[in-house]
C-alpha cells in the first residue's frame, strides 16, 4: 500500500520541522470464523519500506510502526461486537527532540441489535523525548 504523509509542527507542536513520510507498507490479514462462537479479524501493517525525511534539514528519520486493527464478534444477532485500532509510530532523528511517538488507541463496542455504540475509548497523543 502506498503512503504519502507530511507531519507539520502546526499539527504536532513538539516537531522541530515538517517530516515527509513516504513509501509503501505491507498488510497482513487474518480472519478466523467459527459458526458456533463468532469471528476474529486482525489487520497488521509492517513499515519496512517507508522513509521519513525532514523537509527543512533533509535529515533522515528512522520510522517504525506497526498498526494493528482487530475486531471480535459473534455470529448471533444479540452478542456484542468489538473493534480495536492500536497504532504506534516511532520516529527517531538526529539531534535533540528527535525521539517522537505517535500513539492512537480506538476501542468501540457495538450493540448488534441496534448498531448503537455502547462504549468508546479514543486516545490520540504525541510524545516527544
CB atoms inside a 10 Å sphere around CB 44:
15
Q: How confident is the model at residue 58 (pLDDT cuts 50, 70, 90)?
A: very high
Annotate 31-62 with DSSP letters as a single string: EEEETTTEEEEEEEEEEEEEEEEETTT--EEE
Mean per-residue pLDDT, 91-110 = 80
Q: Tell me how long the chain is.
A: 129
> Of 36-40, 59-63, 93-97, which gets the smallest average pLDDT?
93-97
pLDDT of residue 116: 87
Q: CA–CA separation, 89 vs 91, rounded Å? A: 7
Q: How confident is the model at residue 63 (pLDDT cuts 50, 70, 90)?
A: confident
Proportion of the chain in helix, strand, coil states, percent, rounded to 5: 0, 65, 35
pTM of the model: 0.67
Question: Positive or negative CA dihedral for 48, 28, 116, 39?
Answer: negative
Amino acid at each position: 500500500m502506498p503512503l504519502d504523509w507530511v507531519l507539520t509542527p502546526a499539527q504536532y507542536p513538539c516537531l522541530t520541522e515538517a517530516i515527509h513520510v513516504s513509501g509503501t507498507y505491507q498488510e497482513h490479514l487474518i480472519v478466523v470464523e467459527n459458526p458456533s462462537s463468532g469471528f476474529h479479524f486482525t489487520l497488521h501493517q509492517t513499515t519496512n519500506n517507508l522513509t521519513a525525511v525532514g523537509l527543512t534539514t533533509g535529515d533522515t528519520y528512522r520510522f517504525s510502526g506497526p498498526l494493528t486493527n482487530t475486531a471480535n464478534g459473534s455470529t448471533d444477532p444479540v452478542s456484542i461486537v468489538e473493534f480495536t485500532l492500536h497504532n504506534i509510530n516511532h520516529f527517531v532523528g538526529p539531534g535533540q527532540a528527535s525521539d517522537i511517538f505517535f500513539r492512537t488507541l480506538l476501542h468501540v463496542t457495538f450493540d448488534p441489535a441496534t448498531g448503537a455504540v455502547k462504549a468508546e475509548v479514543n486516545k490520540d497523543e504525541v510524545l516527544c523525548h
